């Protein structure tokens, strides 16, 4: 083998190797990378090579971040718990007030005992449904805080439905009481003429009187004997200034000979409301109110209704 060497000046020099020299030179060249690998593998690895100061700082930052997240989660959990505690107290107070109001309304309305039970647990039920693995009962689980609030909310909803029903029932009872014809159409005065045949004060003949008359002081109040809607409030032949009220269920009333009207056509009046002032308008001999009651468009004797007491 021939090797040519070149120096810095460009001069060359040739070296000739024999068979043995070539073998030794090749062995040296091959052993260089192997030796370098073994030398590197046998060098000792120190702890500072794996965990330097930068790694420690990064770990400390991660730990501080995690600690902050834990503290924030704990703070939020405490705030939520406090809010739920306040909500639970509000629901319990609300339920107590609703129960007290319901019992009071039930007593005032004179309802059947046991129809509305505000102080007891709502009656519930339903068909049995198999639980886990075909058993009829589920494993016991302690109630969660939110479940307690949910139960209270359901109880409040149940009480609210009872109150709505009770309110509707009482409104119907009040409406029926308002529409119930009873009492006199005056606050002060006396009955001066009854229902039926009488001697006419103008002609002297026996005629049919289809109402009753109440005499009193000029300008005294005329009141409605029941709630209803005004269907006439004006002059009418023979009646003078007349108020007519439709009370529903086939009933209506008339109030005649007034001096002044306090209601108009289409007005809704309450029981006992002042609808006119006593006068002597129309065919009349003096201050009084001519009072008529109609049932299914036919007059009836007001006496039985006058003697009634309100329900």
> What pLDDT digit, counting tens, does each position of 250-261 carry?
899 999 999 999
pLDDT at 145: 62
Asked whether residue 81 falls in the same domain as residue 174, the answer is: yes
Angle CA 247–183–245, to nearest 5: 25
Asked whether residue 195 falls in the same domain as residue 266, the answer is: yes
Average pLDDT, the chain: 76
Domain annotation covers residue 55: no
Domain annotation covers residue 134: no
How far, in Å, CA of 47 to CA of 182, rounded? 107
Q: Which CATH number characterizes residue 217's domain? A: 2.70.70.10
Beta-strand pair 288-295/298-300: antiparallel
**pLDDT exceeds 90 at position 122:** no
Asked whether residue 173 falls in the same domain as residue 197, the answer is: no
pLDDT at 183: 92
58 — pLDDT class (breaks 50, 70, 90): confident
63 — pLDDT class (breaks 50, 70, 90): confident
Asked whether residue 81 falls in the same domain as residue 32, the answer is: no
Asked whether residue 199 falls in the same domain as residue 171, the answer is: no
Asked whether residue 175 falls in the same domain as residue 199, the answer is: no
Asked whether residue 162 falls in the same domain as residue 206, the answer is: no
Overall number of domains in the chain: 3
Asked whether residue 169 falls in the same domain as residue 204, the answer is: no
Asked whether residue 97 falls in the same domain as residue 162, the answer is: yes
Domain annotation covers residue 61: no
How far, in Å, CA of 146 to CA of 134, rounded? 28
127 — pLDDT class (breaks 50, 70, 90): low
Domain annotation covers residue 275: yes
86 — pLDDT class (breaks 50, 70, 90): confident
- Residue 95 structure tokens: 């339920």
How far, in Å, CA of 204 to CA of 222, rounded? 28
More confident residue, 75 or 26: 75
Asked whether residue 79 falls in the same domain as residue 172, the answer is: yes
- Residues spanned by the domain of 25: 2-40
Q: Looking up tokens 């020099």, which residue turns up?
A: 13
More confident residue, 213 or 111: 213
For the segment 21-48, what is each residue's pLDDT rounded down to a tens digit? 555 655 555 555 555 555 555 545 454 4
Asked whether residue 152 falls in the same domain as residue 234, the answer is: no
Asked whether residue 96 falls in the same domain as residue 172, the answer is: yes
pLDDT at 223: 97
Domain annotation covers residue 128: no
Domain annotation covers residue 248: yes
SS3 200: coil
Please, are residues 238 and 201 in contact by the beta-carbon 8 Å criterion? no
For the segment 89-114, what is each residue's pLDDT rounded down to a tens digit? 777 777 776 777 666 666 656 655 55
Domain annotation covers residue 119: no
Look at the chain and count its residues. Answer: 311
Instruction: List Cα–Cα distances, 34 to 31, 83, 108, 235, in angstroms.
Output: 5, 73, 108, 133
DSSP letter, residue 279? B
Q: What percentage of the chain reaches a pLDDT higher than 90?
A: 33
**pLDDT exceeds 90 at position 212:** yes
Q: What's the pTM value of the predicted model, to 2 decimals?
A: 0.50
Domain annotation covers residue 140: no
**pLDDT exceeds 90 at position 77:** no
């Amino acid at each position: 083998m021939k090797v040519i060497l070149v120096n810095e000046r460009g001069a060359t020099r040739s070296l000739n190797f024999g068979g043995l020299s070539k073998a030794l030179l090749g062995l040296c060249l091959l052993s260089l990378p192997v030796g370098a690998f073994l030398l590197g593998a046998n060098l000792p690895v120190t702890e500072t090579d794996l965990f330097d100061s930068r790694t420690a700082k990064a770990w400390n930052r991660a730990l501080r971040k995690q600690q902050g997240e834990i503290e924030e989660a704990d703070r939020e959990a405490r705030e939520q718990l406090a809010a739920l505690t306040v909500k639970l107290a509000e629901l319990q107070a609300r339920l107590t007030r609703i129960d007290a109001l319901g019992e009071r309304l039930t007593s005032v309305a004179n309802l059947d005992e046991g129809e509305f039970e505000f102080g007891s647990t709502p009656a519930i039920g339903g068909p049995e449904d198999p639980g886990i693995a075909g058993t009829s009962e589920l494993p016991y689980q302690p109630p969660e805080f939110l479940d307690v609030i949910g139960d209270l909310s359901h109880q409040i909803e149940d009480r609210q439905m009872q109150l709505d029903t009770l309110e509707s029932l009482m409104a119907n009872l009040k409406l029926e009481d308002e529409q119930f014809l009873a009492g006199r159409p005056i606050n002060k005065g006396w009955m001066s003429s009854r229902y039926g045949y009488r001697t006419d004060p103008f002609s002297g003949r026996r005629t049919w009187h289809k109402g009753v008359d109440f005499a009193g002081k000029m300008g005294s109040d005329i009141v409605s004997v029941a709630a209803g809607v005004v269907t006439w409030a004006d002059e009418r032949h023979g009646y003078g200034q007349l108020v007519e009220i439709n009370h529903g269920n086939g009933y209506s009333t008339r109030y005649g000979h007034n001096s002044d009207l306090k209601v108009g056509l289409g007005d809704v009046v309450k029981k006992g409301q002042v609808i006119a002032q006593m006068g002597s308008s129309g065919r009349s001999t003096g201050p009084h109110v001519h009072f008529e009651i109609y049932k299914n468009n036919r007059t009836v004797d007001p006496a039985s209704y006058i003697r009634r007491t309100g329900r």
